[in-house]
Every structure is written in C-alpha cells, then in structure tokens.
A and B are shown apart, each in its own frame.
Chain A
Amino acid sequence: MLLIPCPHCGPRNQEEFAYERTLDSVVRLNDAPELAIATLYARANPRGQEHEIWSHTCGQWLRLTRDRISHAIHSVEPL
C-alpha cells in the first residue's frame, strides 16, 4: 500500500485516496471535439514516470508524479 503525502494532511495510506486518471486524459470543457475525443481514447500510457490525478478523502485533489514500474512517488502537488 502506497504512502501518499497529502499536501493538506501529510503522509497517509493509499486506501484513503482514490485514483482519478492521468493528467493527459483530462478533457477541458472548451476543448474542440476532435481534441477531446483524442484525449479520451488515445493515451500515452508511458512505461515509467506518469502524472496522475488522485483525490484524498479530505477533499483535496492532487497531482502525483509517479513511476509506474517502481511505484515511487516523485512529487505531490495540490490541484
């Protein structure tokens, strides 16, 4: 179980967090349809480091930079 440093609460167990999506899959409200559809269905899915959006039960949304092989968390920023 990952130990994720919530910017609001400090390090907490992964079970308090919910994974939302990768940052590159965020569809902005004013994106053109072609861009939005590409964002939804064509993802990079890199082997290694990836930016992810998670939420904590405290209500804080986070941007995690995480290595998907080693599971190492490089940075956590509030969104």
Chain B
Amino acid sequence: MRDAAGSIPFTFDGKAYAGQPGDTLAAALIANGVRLVARSFKLHRPRGIMGAGVEEPSALVTVGEGARAEPNARATDVFLYPGLVARSQNAWPSLAFDVGAVNSLAAALIPAGFYYKTFFGPPSRWMLYERFIRRAAGLGKPPQAPDPDHYGHRSAFCDVLVVGAGPAGLAAALTAVDAGKRVILIEQDAAPGGSLLRERVTIDGEPGVVWAANVADRIRAGGGRVLLRTTVSGYWDDNFLTAVERRVEPGQPAEGDAQVLWRVRAGEVVLATGTIERPLVFANNDLPGVMMAGAARALALRHGVAPGRRAVIATSHDEAYRTAFALADLGVEIVAILDSRTQASGPLVEAARARFVVHAGARPLRAIRRGIGLAGVDALIDGAKRRLLADCLAMSGGASPVLHLHRQAGGALEYDAARGGFLPGAGRQRHVSIGAAAGEHDLSAILTLARVVDPLGPGSPPAPGPLWHDEAPGKAFVDFQNDVTTLDLALAQREGYVSVEHTKRYTTLGMGTDQGKTGAMVALAQIADLRGVPLPDAGLTTFRPPYTPVTMGAFAGPMKGDHAAPIRRLPLAAAHDALGALWVPAGAWMRPRAYLAPDETVAQASLREARMVRASVGVVDVSSLAKFEIAGPDAVDLVAAVCATPVAKLAIGRGRYTVMLREDGMVMDDGTLWRLAEDRWLITSSTGGAARMARHLTYVADVLLGHPRAAVVDVGEHWAGLALAGPQAAAVLSGLTGAEAPAHMGLGDAVIAGVPVRVLAASYSGERAFEVHVPGHLARAVFDALVGAARGLGGGVYGLDAMDHLRVEKGHVVIGAEADGRVTPADLGLGGVLRKTGGYVGWQALQRPALVGPVGRRHLVGLTSVDHTPIAEGAMLVMREGEPPLGHVTTAAPRVAQDGAIALGLLTDGATRHGQIMLAWSPTRRSTVPVRVGPPLFYDAQGARYRD
C-alpha cells in the first residue's frame, strides 16, 4: 500500500497533484481520484484509463508545454517527473462540460461511412461539413513552434536481438549472453519484467520484479546491451529493425538527445512481445471506471493504487481472477466475479470461490453511468438481469499475442480456435516468437530452468469473451479510440463493405494512433459472426510499422536545418562574398544570383550586368558545371555511345556542342565535348544533372559496352570554371595570357597570374566567350586577374540571372526548363546536330512513329511580349483565356539588347505557328500577356558576334 501523499508534483488541466516515483501518469491520476481524462475522438464521450501501457486506446493527453508539447501521449505510457504538465484534448470549454459531447446526441449524423457518403455527395456538402468536422473531431494539437529537442540516430548490430524484457525475453537474452553472443535486449517499459510487474510470483526465491532486475544486470554484466524505454517500431528486410529510445519522458527537457532512433541489423531476432488483453463487448463498455483486468491488476500490484472502491470483475477466462485478489488485498470490495463460462474450475477459480462471489455463465450487459463515470453494471446472472453497484469494472475478453513484428517480418499466422485468435507461425526471416507471444501462458513452462512459485496457482489458457448481439441499449465499442461500435460494423456489412479491409476503411476501425491494438480481434470476431463465417475466414488487416507512433523528429534525427541536405559552395565563394554577391540555391549549390549596387533591385542589377556583357565584357562563375574526363584506347567508343552528336572526326584541340539522350529518345542533358588528345576527352554538362551523368557514363561503360579500355573521371570538383563573355573578352584574355585567344570552339593551355589554366572558347551568351578552367585551390588569383582586367575595359562580374537573360535572348536551352524530359532534340530544333549513323543511347527510340510524325509535337519557340509587359513563367499558351493550353512558357526574361520582354516556350506544332499572336495566360499569377510566336532566337540571328 502506498502513502497517500506523493512526492512528485504535476498538473493535469491546470490543477496541481502529486504522484510517486515509478508512477505512470495514469496511475498518479487514479491515485488522485481523477477518473475522467479524455473525450473520445468522434463522439466526445467521457473516457478514463482502460489499459496499462502502449496499447491504451482512450486516455490520450497532451504532455509538456509550448514547443515541447507532445499530443496524443498515452497517460499509461508516460512516467511521472517533477513539473510534468498534462492537458486533456478534444474538449471545450472543459473536460467535464464539453460542448462537443452533443455529438453523442447527434451521433446519428456521423455513422460509419459518414466521410465516404459525404465525399460521394455534391462538393458543396463537404465544404459545409468540413469546418464543423475539423473542429469537433480530432486528437491533440501539434505544437506550432519548431521542436527544441535534439534527436539522435544510432546504428548497431548484434547476434541476437530480443524484443521484450518480460520473463521469456529476459531468459532468452541471458541464455544468449551466456553462450557468448552479442545481445541487445529492448524493452518499451521503464523497467524490466513485463508481466512480472503486475503479478505476485517468486522466481528462484526472489519476487518476480527483483528477479527481472537481477537478470537484466547479469545481461549487462555479460556484455549485452539493455535498452529500456525503447520501442521496436519496425521490422524490415534482412533482419533490420528500427527502435525508438526515449531518453526523457514526453514534454521533459533533455540534456542531450530527447530520443534516439536505433537501426539494428540482427543475426537472430527473438520476439518476446507478450500479449495484449482484449475487452469485453457490452453497452457503454467505454465508461470511465471500465478498464482491462490486467490494467487494474497493474495499478494495484505495480503502483499500489486502487482503481475504485467497489469492483466487479468480468471475464471469460482465469487470468482476470488474479485481479480480484490484487484489488481485494488493497481493500477494494469485490462485488462479484462474472465468468462467462458456464463451467470453470481449477485452483485459481476454486481459490476465488472461497473468497468472493463468483457467478458462472454471467456477463455484463450494460454499464450504468452516473455523472461522467461508472455507477454500476446490469449483468446477466443465472439467466436474469441484475444490477450490481460498482465504480470499477475490470474486464477481460481473452488475450492476443502481439504479432506486429512477426507479421512485419513476413511471418505466417496460425489460428487457435480455443483462444479465438492467431499465434505466430513460421517466420520468413530469422526470427522466432517465444513466451506469451507464442501462446504460452504458464510462467513455469516459460522459465523451465527457474523455480517459479505462484501463490494463486496456474490458470487456464486465455479464452475469448462472448459475442455481443446488442442485447442491451447503448453503444458497445470495439474500437475505443475511433469510436467504432458493433452497430457500425453491422452497418458496414449491410452497406456492402464486407471484407475486413473495406470495413476498416468504412468505419475507421483500427485506424487510430493505437492501430486497434485493444479491439482488433474482438472486432474481427464480431465481423465473422455478422458474416456467418469462421473467424480466420474474415480476413485480417495488414500490420504496418510503426508499432507505436514515432515523433517526426526521431526520423529526421540530426538531419535538420542546415544539416537536412548538404550545401555545396563554390571554391570562389569568399571572392563572390567580397563582391557583394546575392546567393541563390541552384540544386545543392549556392551560386551568385547578382551583385547588387546600392539601391538596386535584383532585376535592375541583372539587367545591368547582362547589358554590360553585351557592351563590353563580363566574368561569371561556372564552376558548378559537371566535367568528366574520359581517357583510354576505347574512350572514343564510350563518348560516341553517350553523345548523340558526331564524335570520331572531332579534331584534337577542338570542341563542339553535344546532347545526351535517354533511351526513350528524350534529351537527358547537354553540354560541350572537347578532344584534349587522341584518346582523351572532356565532357561538360549541366550542374543539376552532374550525378545522373556520372552514373550514366559508368552504366554505359560497364553494362552496355562491357568495360571498354576507357577510364571515366569526374573532374567537376577539381576544376573551377570562369566564363569570360563579351566583345572585349578576347582582349581581356590575350592581355592576361600574352597570347592570342583560341578560335571559337578551340581550346588551349595558358598561364594567367602565374597559374596554368585551360581555355575553352565556347559561348553560352551569344557573345565571343571563353571558359577558363583552373584548379579550384588556385582559382582566386585567376578570378581577381580576370575581374580586374574586365573592369579596366568597362566590364565586371555577372550572376546567374544575367546569364539566364543572355541565353534566353540567344535561344539556348536549359536542362530542366526547356529540356523537361519530354522533348526530343528535334523538338528543340536540334535535330540537325544528331549523328546520322545512330549507335548512341536513345537513337532507336527516336524512330518511334509518334516521334517521326509530322504533327503533334511540342516545339521550342520564342515568344515576344506584344506590349512589352513581362511574361509569366509557367503561363499557358492559349488562343483565348479558358481554352485548353497548346503549350507553356518555360523561361521568361527581359530583352537585354533593347527594351521589351521575351520568353522561351514549348508549343504544339510551334514551328508552324511563327507569326501567330497567342496569349500567355496564368490564372494563378493573374497575368495575361499577348505574345507573338517566333523562332527561339532574338539576338544576332546571323551568329556573327560569338565567332572570332
């Protein structure tokens, strides 16, 4: 018996209480006389505490304050700490006077299938109901502020992973440790013992709880790892399991990680997951005061808390008899034991008969409510209805082995008619179920090597409770968390949702945060009865991870904020910062978007920079472009397979534009191809496609060509790239190198600021231009020299936006914008650059009839704003507003060379529409701009400016 006064202060709904060390929040609330702790999900019915652990369906509360508040915590699965703050959920203005409880009266409005029926009705009906439903039905509210806690990830491996530190799990883990195995033992409770925590047995002369603690110590001493307060949430392929360790309780500030997500690869897995007790089905079986017999016993024997003053025990098997003894020893008056079996015998039953009133063939029909809790029970006793007055009804309708992990692992099930449920069959991976989870209920049979003394004697195996045929008025729940009753199951059957998978979705059976742990088998029995089929033929829904809800932060772990994804910075990032770069993320890279002068907008700066390039010269950082060197006697074969343009005849020291296709003929990437030597090539390709291209090159080499004598080296990280563009670019370059600049599409080695560099004469802007490749760690001096020389000629640096303006005006495509994975080279006007002889990836698919046909493809076009209004990117191209789109705007830009607005777009049969006026229509941006369709080229149509 515990002291009346507690030592650990906590609050519930703002009221101060105190509990004792080792208390769950549920135990402390009951010890303080709090019986009403929640309102149910749909019907707002008053709810108390039903269970004793993670299976609790009813007593959901929010624990913690502010950003640390954890909604939907199970009061039975939260251990008390000083200052714990708990609140009830889903009630307004208060738990006792909940306005939403009128839902119970209007329950006919939201029967099973309510959502389905509403969705099948006119949309306006859903719009009307939604506001009402969202407010009325619900669980706890998630905190709005960022989670202040830290979460860790740990990986581990072991020979044997034991799940569950009850008697079976402890014995198995100790055996494995003694055999020299590396062992991890995981237990979701705060203490080892499992069922021993709620039973009064001695093992090898010690109380069960003491034995459990000692075994846990021996496992640790033998090198095993014992993780308490840790729940295995998922069993994946090849014996890979994930578990969540709570290092602090919900809402409790942590020194380090609040939770740790364990990823364990195990040699063998031992599932000692025990059982979950089943409820009995009768009217009002959800009233506060009605609880599971095992939970009542745990309150009494583990916490020394009496769940009431007058208790009725209702059961279908022996186990619940133990509850009568446990409660009576705390001074609770046992009004009666109602046993649904007509015949019951055995030492446990006989011992009970000697001390209590035991009715055989008796069962509860209806719980009687007074205020918000239980006042009594109408029971069927000796064929007649009798009212028993009680404030606690401890019930047990059998026990279900916890098969979740066994099923997640792919294990088979075997039906056991005597227990009315399933037992684990053969495993698919390397796992075995033991103890109560395997259907063994007798402790001395589990601990064969130990001396077990049970003062009450062994009981019979658990047997299912009677079916409920609505013999009394009132709701009889099978899923307490989602408010699913036997009438809902019957309705679903009547309306044709026969299969259990359909019934589940129609009634929301088992779809709460408890995933139907308590009521699933009871509901299944009722469904089988309604259908007139044996239980195993009624089907079973899938057991999916996680076993219990997992905080999102545990999945994210340390990968949040800046650590969520790697950020790649250019080798010259510091130099750009010194120039006042405005950074923009481009894939994983941060790139300079523009270099803003005082009082300049980004648009103004970008246009200024672009015009500077057209007028004199500009320097832009293109280091993030992908770069691959391919070398070897067979290098030409690999290059020719990847690049769809002519390859073999490219002269040494020359380059050309190239395009790479997917197997379906669509453009995958584009770039330039350079021949550095007879057997040595350089490919540049898009920044965003770098990883894909790296993989593609090795796929083509290893899988398609069967390991040619060619090496592929990703040199993207090695070389910084600086593009120099504009009419003065050649002057800047030769001024710095002291040599003549290479001809267009030529390459050469040079020295700038004492640093050896490679110069590639390629243009992306329409101006004479060069790419200077320099080892990244030596790039600063070259950059400073280039920028200094450019400034001397009226030029300077430019950013990504200006580069985009320039390339749009020149009609160059970008992978991802114009080449969006649905266009062929011909669609982009690049049909002429392809190698006529084929032999490259994607050449066959280009012969598909749909691709060679004359009409129906979307072509790249240029769009000019008729009235100079900017065109919206992504706008649809239509003849009239509201008509189906014929194409869309891929990139929009201002004109650089003169005033005005232009864009590139993809337009059905666009090549035949040049000269047409269409609308670029964007309802989401409220923009409609008349545009003239033309070729995708707005600048220097003769191509005079970029040549030497």
Contacts and interface: CB of A to CB of B under 8 A. Distances in A.
Given A29-B641, A40-B663, A70 B703 contact: no
A27 B844 contact: yes
B704 A28 contact: yes
Interface stretch (B694-702, B720-728, B792-800): B694-702
A13 B239 CA distance: 11
A62 B844 CA distance: 25
Nearest to A26: B703
8 contacts: A1-B236, A2-B237, A3-B265, A20-B699, A27-B844, A33-B847, A61-B703, A79-B702
Interface in A45-71: 53, 55, 59, 61, 70-71
B410 A79 contact: no
Contact of A2 (B238, B699, B704): B238
Given A1-B238, A14-B237, A33-B848, 5 more contacts: A1-B237, A3-B237, A33-B847, A37-B844, A37-B848
B200 interface: no
Contacts of B841: 27, 29
B664 interface: yes
B428 to A, nearest CB: 7
Given A2-B237, A26-B704, A32 B844 contact: yes
Contacts of B839: 29-30
Contacts of B664: 40
Interface string A26-44: 1111111101110010000
Contacts of B704: 26, 28-29
A32 B844 CA distance: 7
Interface in B36-74: none
B12 interface: no
Given A2-B237, A27-B663, A61 B698 contact: yes
Nearest to B241: A1
Shortest 10 CB-CB contacts between residues of A and residues of B: A36-B844, A3-B238, A33-B844, A33-B847, A1-B240, A61-B702, A2-B237, A27-B663, A71-B237, A1-B236
Interface string B239-257: 1100000000000000000
Nearest to B238: A3
A55 B848 contact: no
Interface string B812-840: 00000000000000000000000000011
A11 to B, nearest CB: 9
Contacts of A13: 240, 265
Interface of A: 1-3, 13-14, 18, 20, 26-33, 35-37, 40, 53, 55, 59, 61, 70-71, 79
Most A-side CB within 10 Å, residue of B641, B703, B705, B839: B703
Interface centre among A18, A20, A28, A40 (most CB of B within 10 A): A40
A55 B238 contact: no
A26 to B, nearest CB: 6
Given A3-B240, A79-B702, A79-B703, A70 B428 contact: yes
Contacts of B699: 20, 55, 61
B917 interface: no
A30 B843 CA distance: 9
B845 interface: yes
Contacts of B236: 1
Contact of B695 (A18, A35, A71): A18
A59 B698 contact: yes
A50 B237 CA distance: 17
Nearest to A78: B702
Contacts of B239: 3
A3 B240 CA distance: 8
Contacts of A55: 695, 698-699
Contacts of B698: 55, 59, 61
A31 B844 contact: yes
Contacts of A53: 703
Nearest to A41: B664
A49 B659 CA distance: 37
Interface in B198-250: 236-240
Contacts of B240: 1, 3, 13
A30 B428 CA distance: 43
B240 to A, nearest CB: 4
Contacts of A61: 698-699, 702-703
Contacts of A14: 237
A1 B410 CA distance: 13
Contacts of A20: 699, 703
A1 B428 CA distance: 15
A55 B694 CA distance: 12
Contacts of B848: 33, 37
A36 B848 CA distance: 10
B40 to A, nearest CB: 38
B911 to A, nearest CB: 24
A71 B240 CA distance: 13
B703 to A, nearest CB: 6
B131 to A, nearest CB: 43
A61 B700 CA distance: 11
Nearest to B707: A79
A35 B847 CA distance: 12
Nearest to A25: B663
A60 to B, nearest CB: 8
Contacts of A31: 844
A28 B706 CA distance: 11
Nearest to A71: B237
A53 B410 CA distance: 25
B692 to A, nearest CB: 11
A70 B844 CA distance: 36
A50 to B, nearest CB: 16
A75 B163 CA distance: 31
Nearest to B704: A29
B704 to A, nearest CB: 6
Nearest to A35: B844
Nearest to B705: A29
A2 to B, nearest CB: 5
A2 B236 CA distance: 8
A4 to B, nearest CB: 9
Contact of A29 (B238, B410, B428, B840): B840
A7 to B, nearest CB: 13
Interface string B669-697: 00000000000000000000000000100
Contacts of B844: 27, 31-33, 35-37
Nearest to A59: B698
Contacts of A71: 237-238
B300 to A, nearest CB: 43
B635 to A, nearest CB: 16
Given A30-B839, A61-B702, A61-B703, A37 B845 contact: yes
Given A55-B698, A71-B237, A40 B703 contact: no
Contacts of A3: 237-240, 265
A79 B705 CA distance: 11
Contacts of A79: 702-703
A8 B791 CA distance: 53
Contacts of B847: 33, 37
Interface string B420-446: 000000001000000000000000000
**Residue among A29, A32, A36, A59 with max Cβ neighbours from chain B (10 Å):** A29
Contacts of B265: 3, 13
A75 to B, nearest CB: 15
Nearest to B712: A59
Contacts of A36: 663, 844-845
Nearest to A36: B844
Contacts of A26: 703-704
A29 B701 CA distance: 11
A34 to B, nearest CB: 8
B156 to A, nearest CB: 13
A30 B699 CA distance: 16
B410 A70 contact: yes
A29 B642 CA distance: 10
A6 B181 CA distance: 26
Nearest to B265: A3
